[in-house]
């Protein structure tokens, strides 16, 4: 079965490390670095060698701080075409990071094993049907069009996920195919992103695996000012605390360093 790997992997070794492969000119941290197909495939190979469990491939920037240029489905597929099947052939599960159902369907037909939807099935009305028809895992991410500092962000996420899970149920998506993502930075103030990580265990009450993507995000800069490529320490700190609070998957740019940190943390906990 296409999706059987997810449950087995989570049972065997959680947390899993999802490596980020952005085939975009304008992603906030590494935009333009992997537009060339050869560089993109080489980066995927490097992340696999560094210990990634999943490769998350995206061809449209969804950076949460504005300024990204919208990409239509044809352009998104054009960027993916020379890369996606080659990355899938490397043997690791590949997630397609897209908010468009037509792109998700296209990518799944070319070997992708999972859909990562930054709008949690609530933006494209056809997305849930595509996921249900393919029987694939889906990451349902919390998002908002704008941040509201007055919100209790965890209560807001719980309400959002209730709506997404209702959509998934109506479409026939099995619960054991669903992963929830708090969407760090998306529609949140830096303070709310910190709160979301610190209170991640509240979302664990929903009984579904949690994915945390805090890599190089702006909230780190608010705590300890640094440009995106100098936020490794903050990223690792956030992911380690997220794992302690229940994250089963971490989505990262820096795979080798994250894998090492998780192994050391697990070894220390095993000796306690």
Marked catalytic residue, from 144, 217, 218, 231:
217
251 given a catalytic annotation? yes
**Residue 72 falls in which region: left (phi positive, over 0), alpha (psi -120 to 50) or beta:** beta
Tell me the residue ranges of DSSP E strands in 23-118: 54-58, 94-97, 114-117
Is residue 183 helix, strand or coil?
A: coil
Cα separation, 211 vs 272, in Å, equals 26
Quick check: is 217 catalytic? yes
Q: Smallest Cα–Cα separation from 141: which of 9, 265, 18?
A: 18
Does 49 sit behind a cis peptide bond, omega within 30 degrees of 0 on the bond before it?
no
Closest CA to 68 of 185, 192, 191, 161: 185
- Using alpha carbons only, give the angle 67, 69, 72 rounded to the nearest 5 degrees: 155
Packing angle, helices 127-134 and 101-109, rounded to 10 = 20
What is the sign of the dihedral through the CA atoms of 222, 199, 239 and 175?
A: negative
Q: Which residues are catalytic?
A: 217, 251
């Amino acid at each position: 079965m296409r999706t059987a790997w997810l449950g087995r992997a989570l049972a065997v070794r959680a947390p899993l490390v999802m490596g980020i492969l952005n085939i975009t000119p304008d992603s906030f941290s590494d935009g333009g670095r992997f537009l060339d197909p050869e560089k993109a495939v080489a980066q995927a190979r490097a992340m696999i060698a560094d210990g990634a469990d999943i490769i998350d491939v995206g061809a449209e920037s969804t950076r949460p701080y504005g300024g990204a240029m919208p990409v239509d489905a044809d352009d998104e597929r054009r960027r993916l075409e020379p890369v996606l099947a080659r990355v899938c052939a490397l043997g690791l599960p590949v997630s397609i990071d897209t908010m468009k159902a037509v792109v998700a369907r296209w990518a799944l037909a070319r070997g992708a094993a999972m859909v990562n939807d930054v709008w949690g099935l609530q933006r494209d009305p056809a997305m849930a049907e595509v996921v249900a028809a393919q029987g694939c895992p889906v990451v349902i991410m919390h998002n908002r069009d704008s941040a509201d500092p007055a919100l209790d962000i965890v209560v807001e996420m719980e309400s959002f996920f209730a709506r997404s899970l209702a959509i998934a149920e109506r479409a026939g998506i099995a619960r054991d195919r669903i992963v929830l993502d708090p969407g760090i930075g998306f529609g949140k103030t830096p303070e709310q992103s910190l709160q979301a990580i610190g209170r991640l265990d509240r979302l664990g009450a929903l009984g579904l695996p949690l994915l945390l993507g805090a890599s190089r995000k702006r909230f780190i800069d608010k705590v300890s000012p640094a440009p995106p490529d100098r936020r490794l320490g903050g990223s690792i700190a956030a992911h380690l605390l997220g794992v302690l609070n229940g994250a089963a998957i971490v989505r990262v740019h820096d795979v080798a360093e994250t894998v090492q940190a998780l192994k050391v943390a697990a070894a220390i906990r095993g000796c306690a």
